[in-house]
Structure 1
Amino acid sequence: MDDEGRRWPHCLLAGAVFVVCMAGTTLPTPLYPLYQQKFGFSELTVTVVYAVYAFGVMGVLLLAGNASDAVGRRPALLWGLGFAAASAGCFLAADNTGLLYAGRLLSGLSAGLFTGAATAYVMELAPPGGAARATFVATAANMGGLGCGPLLAGLLAEYAPEPLLLPYAVHLGLVAASAVVLLRLPETVTDRQPLSTVRPQRPALPPGVRAVFLPAATASFVGFALFGVFTSVSPAFLARSLHVDDHAVSGLVVALAFFASTGGQLAVDRVGVPRSLPLGCAVLFTGLLLLAAAIHTDLLVLVVLAALVGGVGQGLAFRAALAGVAAAAPADRRAAVISTLFVVAYTGISIPVIGVGLLADPLGLEGAGLVFIASMLLLVAAAAVYLLRRPLPARRA
C-alpha cells in the first residue's frame, strides 16, 4: 500500500482515539443519580462535580493549548490519554466526593489537550484533497465521542453488574488500546520543540473582531450552557419527575443531543456560515422552549425533542461562530481569538450549571431549570436580533 493509501486508515484511527478520549468525559452522566444515592449529596454537588471538568479544559486551553504545535501531536495526545486513564482510576476508587472532583478535573485536562491537538492531527493525517472529509471525521469524532460516553455508561449500568465500576474499567481498557494505536501512527509535526517553549495563551480580542465576536460568543455560551445543564441534571429530572429509572434511556437521551450537534455542524456546509449563526440561534431558541415545555408537562417525548432540536441548534451556532470568528481575526492573532471563544463557551458549561445547582434547593429542580431557560432565551434572542440588525463584516485574510 502506497503512502496515500495508508493515510485514510491513519486518519480514521486517529479519529477513533479521539472518540475514546471524548467518551470518557461524559461517561459519568447517567451515573450521577447513583452517586447521589451512594454519597447522599445535593443537586448543587452534582453540578459542581460536572462543572469542574470545564475548569480543567479552560486551564489547559489557556496554559498549554498550543503544546502540540511545539512538542508534537502524539506526545500531547499521549499525555491526554494519561489524564483520561488517571480520571478513570479516580472513579474506580471513588469512596468520597473528593475523588469525583479529581476524576472530573483530570477528565477536563484530557479533553483540553485533545480538543485542538486531535482535531489538527486528524486533518494532517488525511491525504491531499481530503480536508473536507477529514473535517467531518474530526467533528464526528469530537461530538460523537461525547455522545458515546453516556450511551455506553447507561447500557452497562442498566444491563451489567457493578454500574459504578464496569463503565470505567471498560473505558480504561479502551484508553490502553488507544495508546497502542497512537504509538503506531506517524507524527505530523516535523519541527518539534522542547516543552519549555510552550507559553500560556492570553485571551485576545482585537477591535476589528468585536462585532463578529459578540453574537458568536453569546450563541456559543448559550449552546454550551444548554449542553452543560442537560448532561448534568437531566438524569435526575428523568428519574424524579418522569419516573424513568432506566439508566440506558437516560444515557440515550443525553447522547441524542451530542449526535444531533454533529448533524448541526455538518449542515453548516450546506447552509453557509453567514446564515448558520442566526439559524442556529433560532433553533437553539426553539430547543430551549421545548425543554421548558418538557419541564412543565413532564413528558418524555418533549425531553427527547429538546435534546434533538437543542443539539442541532448548538451544532449550527458553534461551528458557524468558530468559522466566523476565525475568518474575521487577523492571521497573527487567530489562535488567541479562537482560544478566547473556547473560554467563553466552556464558561457556559460551568457557571450556569452551578447556578442551577444553587437554585435547585430553594426552587426545586424544575424551578431552577425554568429560571435557567428564561435567562438563556434572553441571551440567544439578543444575539439573534443583533445578527439580523447588523450583518457580519466581510471576510479577512
Structure 2
Amino acid sequence: MTGDRLGWRACLLGGAVFAVCMAGTTLPTPLYPLYQDKFGFSELTVTVVYAVYAFAVIGVLLLAGNASDAVGRRPVLLWGLACSAASAVCFLLATGLGWLYAGRLLSGLSAGLFTGAATAYVMEAAPPGRASRATFVATAVNMGGLGCGPLLAGVLAEYAAGPLYLPFAVHLALVVCSVAVLLRLPETVRDLRPLRTVRPQRPGVPAQVRPVFGAAATASFVGFALFGVFTSVSPAFLAESLGVTDHAVSGTVVAAAFFASIAGQTAVGRVGVSRSLPLGCAVLLTGLALLAGALYWDQLALVVLSALVGGFGQGLAFRGALSAVGAASPADRRAAVISSLFVVAYTGISVPVIGVGLLSEPLGLENAGLVFIACMAVLIVMAAGYLLRRPVRAGS
C-alpha cells in the first residue's frame, strides 16, 4: 500500500472505532420511557440521568483532556473502550435507578476520553495536506455514531425480544471488535511522555487560538444544546403528547437530527468556515422555531422537520468550529484545545436539559420546552451577532 492509502485506512478505521464508542452514549435514548415504566421515575429524573453523562464528559476533558498528547492516542482510546464496555454491562445488569446512573457515568467517561483523542487521531492519521477532509471524517463519524445509537436501540426494542438488553449486548460485541481493530492501528503521537507528566487542565487555550476559539465555542454551545433536548426528552414528548409509542420511530427522529448534522458538515466545504458559523446559527434558529411549532400544535411532521433543519444548522456550525480551532492549534496542544471546545459543547448539552427537566414538573413538558426554545433563541441571535462582528478567518 502507498503511504496515502495506509493513512486513509488508519483514518477510516479510527473513525469507525470512534463511531462505535459514540453510538453507545446515545443507545438508551429511545429506551427511557421503558425505564420510566419499569423503575417508576419522573421526567426530571430522566434529564438528570442524561446529564450525569454530560458532566462525566466534562470532568474527563478537564482532568485528562490532554492525556493523549503525552501517552499517545491509542492507550487513551483503549481506556475509553473499556469504559464503554463497562457501561454496557451496567445496563445489562440494571435492576434499579442506580445502575442507570452508573452506566451513564461510565458512558460519559468513555466519551470524554474519546472526543479529543479520537478527533486528533483521525486528523493526524490522514495523509498530509488532507486536513479538511480528515476534519469532516472526524466530525461525521462523531455525529453518525451518535445517530446510530438511538436508531439501533429503537429498532431492536420495537422488533426484537429483550428491548432493555439486546441493544447493549450488540454494542458490547461491537466494542470487543473495536478493541481488536484499535490494537492493529499505528500510533500518531511521536513524542511520547509518561502518564505522570499529565496534569489536570483548566479550561483555556493558547493565546494564538483564542480569537478563533471564542466564536467557535459560542456556535458549538447552541448546537449541542438543541441535541441535548432531542436526546433526553423527545421520546417522552412523542409518547405523551403525540401518542407515538413506537420505539423505532422515536429512535429514528433523534437519529435524523444527527444524520442531518453530517449533511450540514458536508455543506461547509462550499459555504466556507467563516460563513458557516453565522449561517449555522441562523439555520439553528429556524430549527428551534419549527420545534416551537411542534410543541404548540402537537405535530409530528414539525418535530421531524425541526430535527432535520436544526441538525443541519448544528453541522454547519460545528464543523466550521472544529476546522477553525484545529487549524489554529499547535500540534502538541491540539487534543487539549479540542477537548476544551468539547467542554463548552457538553455544557450546552447538559445544563439546558436539566432546566427543561426542572420546569417540566410545574409547567408541563411542552411549556418547559417552549421556555427552553425562547432562551436558546436569544443565545443564538447573540452568537450570530458576535460571529458577524468578529468573523472566523480560517480555511475549511
TM-score normalised to structure 1 length:
0.93
Match of 2:391 in 1: 392
Match of 1:269 in 2: 269
Is there any run of 5+ residues in structure 1 with no aligned partner, and where? none
1:252 aligns with 2:248: no
User: In structure 2, what residue type is equivalent to 1:345?
Assistant: A
Deviation of 1:243 (Å): 0.8
Match of 2:381 in 1: 381
Of stretches 361-370 and 329-338 in structure 1, the one that deviates more from structure 2 is 329-338
Once residues 135 and 365 of structure 2 are traced to their aligned partners in structure 1, the CA distance between those partners, rounded to angstroms, is: 38
Match of 1:162 in 2: 162
Task: Give 1:286-305 correspondences, 5 Å limit.
Answer: 286-305=286-305
Of stretches 330-339 and 184-193 in structure 1, the one that deviates more from structure 2 is 330-339
Of stretches 197-206 and 371-380 in structure 1, the one that deviates more from structure 2 is 197-206
Deviations 1:168-217 (A, max 9, x none): 00100110111111112222223322211111121126788766555443
Once residues 119 and 205 of structure 1 are traced to their aligned partners in structure 2, the CA distance between those partners, rounded to angstroms, is: 17
Task: Give 1:211-290 correspondences, 5 Å limit.
Answer: 213-290=213-290
Q: Is the 8 A contact 1:56 1:108 kept in 2?
A: yes
Once residues 208 and 190 of structure 2 are traced to their aligned partners in structure 1, the CA distance between those partners, rounded to angstroms, is: 34
Inter-CA distance 162–192: structure 2 relative to 1 (3 Å threshold): same
CA RMSD of aligned residues (A): 2.2
Once residues 187 and 106 of structure 2 are traced to their aligned partners in structure 1, the CA distance between those partners, rounded to angstroms, is: 25
Q: Is the 8 A contact 1:202 1:336 kept in 2?
A: no
Inter-CA distance 276–297: structure 2 relative to 1 (3 Å threshold): same
Match of 2:315 in 1: 315
User: In structure 1, what residue type is equivalent to 2:177?
Assistant: A
Question: 3-state DSSP class of the match of 2:233?
Answer: helix
TM-score normalised to structure 2 length:
0.93
Match of 2:108 in 1: 108
Match of 1:119 in 2: 119
Once residues 257 and 239 of structure 1 are traced to their aligned partners in structure 2, the CA distance between those partners, rounded to angstroms, is: 18
Q: Is the 8 A contact 1:48 1:354 kept in 2?
A: yes
Deviation of 1:319 (Å): 2.3
Match of 1:149 in 2: 149
Inter-CA distance 74–218: structure 2 relative to 1 (3 Å threshold): closer
Match of 2:342 in 1: 342
Of stretches 257-266 and 189-198 in structure 1, the one that deviates more from structure 2 is 189-198
Once residues 391 and 194 of structure 1 are traced to their aligned partners in structure 2, the CA distance between those partners, rounded to angstroms, is: 40
Q: Is the 8 A contact 2:144 2:262 kept in 1?
A: yes
Once residues 281 and 208 of structure 1 are traced to their aligned partners in structure 2, the CA distance between those partners, rounded to angstroms, is: 25
Question: 3-state DSSP class of the match of 1:392?
Answer: coil
User: In structure 2, what residue type is equivalent to 1:79?
Assistant: W
Deviations 1:276-330 (A, max 9, x none): 1110111010000000000111111100100000001111122223344556678
Deviation of 1:384 (Å): 1.8
Inter-CA distance 223–172: structure 2 relative to 1 (3 Å threshold): same
Match of 2:188 in 1: 188
Match of 1:72 in 2: 72
Match of 1:370 in 2: 370
Match of 2:9 in 1: 9
Once residues 332 and 10 of structure 2 are traced to their aligned partners in structure 1, the CA distance between those partners, rounded to angstroms, is: 30
Question: 3-state DSSP class of the match of 1:184?
Answer: coil
Deviation of 1:4 (Å): 4.3
Inter-CA distance 10–214: structure 2 relative to 1 (3 Å threshold): closer
Deviation of 1:266 (Å): 2.1
Match of 1:45 in 2: 45
Question: 3-state DSSP class of the match of 2:364?
Answer: helix
Once residues 15 and 208 of structure 1 are traced to their aligned partners in structure 2, the CA distance between those partners, rounded to angstroms, is: 28
Q: Is the 8 A contact 2:78 2:182 kept in 1?
A: yes
Inter-CA distance 386–190: structure 2 relative to 1 (3 Å threshold): closer
User: In structure 1, what residue type is equivalent to 2:359?
Assistant: L
Match of 2:60 in 1: 60
Once residues 328 and 176 of structure 1 are traced to their aligned partners in structure 2, the CA distance between those partners, rounded to angstroms, is: 35
Q: Is the 8 A contact 1:211 1:392 kept in 2?
A: no
Once residues 116 and 149 of structure 1 are traced to their aligned partners in structure 2, the CA distance between those partners, rounded to angstroms, is: 20
Inter-CA distance 302–182: structure 2 relative to 1 (3 Å threshold): same
User: In structure 2, what residue type is equivalent to 1:378?
Assistant: V
Q: Is the 8 A contact 2:205 2:337 kept in 1?
A: yes
Question: 3-state DSSP class of the match of 2:183?
Answer: helix
Inter-CA distance 384–158: structure 2 relative to 1 (3 Å threshold): same
Q: Is the 8 A contact 1:23 1:145 kept in 2?
A: yes
Once residues 333 and 4 of structure 2 are traced to their aligned partners in structure 1, the CA distance between those partners, rounded to angstroms, is: 33
Q: Is the 8 A contact 1:22 1:142 kept in 2?
A: yes
User: In structure 1, what residue type is equivalent to 2:352?
Assistant: P
Once residues 123 and 326 of structure 1 are traced to their aligned partners in structure 2, the CA distance between those partners, rounded to angstroms, is: 9
Is there any run of 5+ residues in structure 2 with no aligned partner, and where? none
Inter-CA distance 208–82: structure 2 relative to 1 (3 Å threshold): closer
Deviation of 1:56 (Å): 1.1
Deviation of 1:26 (Å): 0.3
Q: Is the 8 A contact 2:277 2:316 kept in 1?
A: yes
Match of 2:203 in 1: 203
Once residues 37 and 202 of structure 1 are traced to their aligned partners in structure 2, the CA distance between those partners, rounded to angstroms, is: 41
Inter-CA distance 335–67: structure 2 relative to 1 (3 Å threshold): closer
Match of 2:22 in 1: 22
Q: Is the 8 A contact 1:223 1:314 kept in 2?
A: yes
Deviation of 1:135 (Å): 2.6
